[in-house]
Amino acid sequence: MARADPAGGRLAAVAKHAALVLFGLAAALLLLELGLRAAGLVVRSVGQRDGGAAPGERVVLCVGDSHTYGAPLPGEDAYPAQLQQRLDALDPDARWRVINRGIPGMNSAQVAAELEGWILHDRPAAVVVWVGANDWWNRDDPRAGAGAKSAWRRLLEGSRAYRLYRTFTAQSALADWDRAAGEVVERSDRWLFSGPRSPRDRYVHTLRALSAIAATLAQHGLPWLIVTYPQPEYRWQRSAAERVAERSHAAIVHSAEDLARARRDHPEAVLDCPWPAPEGRACLFVESMGPHPTRLLYGYVAASIADALLALP
């Protein structure tokens, strides 16, 4: 008679226990996924956005570089702050909340890489994208070499349970916004003296990143709009923005048209001023690490963005 193998029996018991644990975890995840999807259907049935925003609240997420941040101006002069005031005046019952996620020095690829986390954290109803000016010198591309997403990755990102996990991790990552912004700026500055991109490379880089932004927003079903720069030297960004807007059916705001209106309405305004601007003088741009709009010009841009947002479906 053959003797029983005690070691083999213990291994079999351990394997059986591990299989039961894995089965239990899989079942728990499946129940969580089904529960989250059912909750999403209930939320949509009573007219609220999927993502749990407060009833009636409409968040506008503004992403981009220093033109979104509002450098070197005080925060209340930046276009997102003026956009908040404009929306409140035009549609006071909508409970708008405008969030400024602009970071000076950021390029379009960095915005594309960070966008998913911002969406999960801020739960916007619409997104405003104003980026691309720094693509001529900032070569940091967090997604370089990542390649196309695998089928498993796409399946995972479609899971409500995974998106819930990403929401919690996004909230943790954004707990210290100043530190997160500082890290992005530090990565950007590594390329400051490496030499500028050629005009064609700038266009290709911006087009690729804006297309990635469009894909992320489409995945979340979010309406959005692109803002172009008023200065003619950023024409590559305008070309890329127009092409992506046409492909993705996004709205587009050309701030060069806002500049023209501002100059027509304020003939006394000086086009370029040093920073800080001379007291008592109306200026449209101030020189601070390149020309940046003043409160006066940002007001026109904010008005155009507000009109475009209210026209979105």
**Please, what's the b/e burial string for 267-280 (b: 16 or more CB within 10 A of its CB; e: otherwise)?**
eebeeebebebeee
Mind listing the pLDDT tens digit of every residue in the chain (313 residues)?
Answer: 555 566 666 666 666 666 676 666 666 656 655 654 554 333 333 333 333 456 678 999 999 999 999 999 999 999 999 999 999 999 988 899 999 999 999 999 999 999 999 999 999 999 999 999 999 998 888 877 554 444 454 455 445 454 444 434 444 445 555 666 677 767 777 776 677 788 899 999 999 999 999 999 999 999 999 999 999 999 999 999 999 999 999 999 999 999 999 999 999 999 999 999 888 899 999 998 889 999 999 999 999 999 999 999 8
Task: Report, in angstroms and rounded to the nearest whole number, the Rg of the chain calculated over CA atoms.
Answer: 24
Q: What are the extents of the domains in the chain? A: 57-311
pLDDT at 3: 55
pLDDT at 73: 95
pLDDT at 51: 38
Tokens of 51: 């993502």
Q: At what angle do helices 79-90 and 295-311 cross, to 10 degrees?
A: 50
pLDDT at 64: 97
Nearest Cα neighbor of 263 from 291, 282, 287, 286 is: 282
In degrees rounded to 5, what are phi and psi of residue 126?
-155, 160
Tokens of 84: 């908040």
Contacts of 266 (CB under 8 A, 6+ apart): 282, 284, 296
Half-sphere exposure of 89 (CA within 13 A, CB side): 10
Tell me which residue has tokens 């104003």.
Answer: 130
Task: State the Cα–Cα distance between residues 275 and 159, nearest whole angstrom.
Answer: 49
Task: State the Cα–Cα distance between residues 36 and 54, nearest whole angstrom.
Answer: 18
What DSSP designation does 135 have? G
Task: State the Cα–Cα distance between residues 107 and 206, nearest whole angstrom.
Answer: 8
pLDDT at 219: 96
Task: State the Cα–Cα distance between residues 155 and 153, nearest whole angstrom.
Answer: 5
Three-state SS for 119? helix
Three-state SS for 61? strand
- What is 57-311's CATH topology? Rossmann fold (3.40.50)
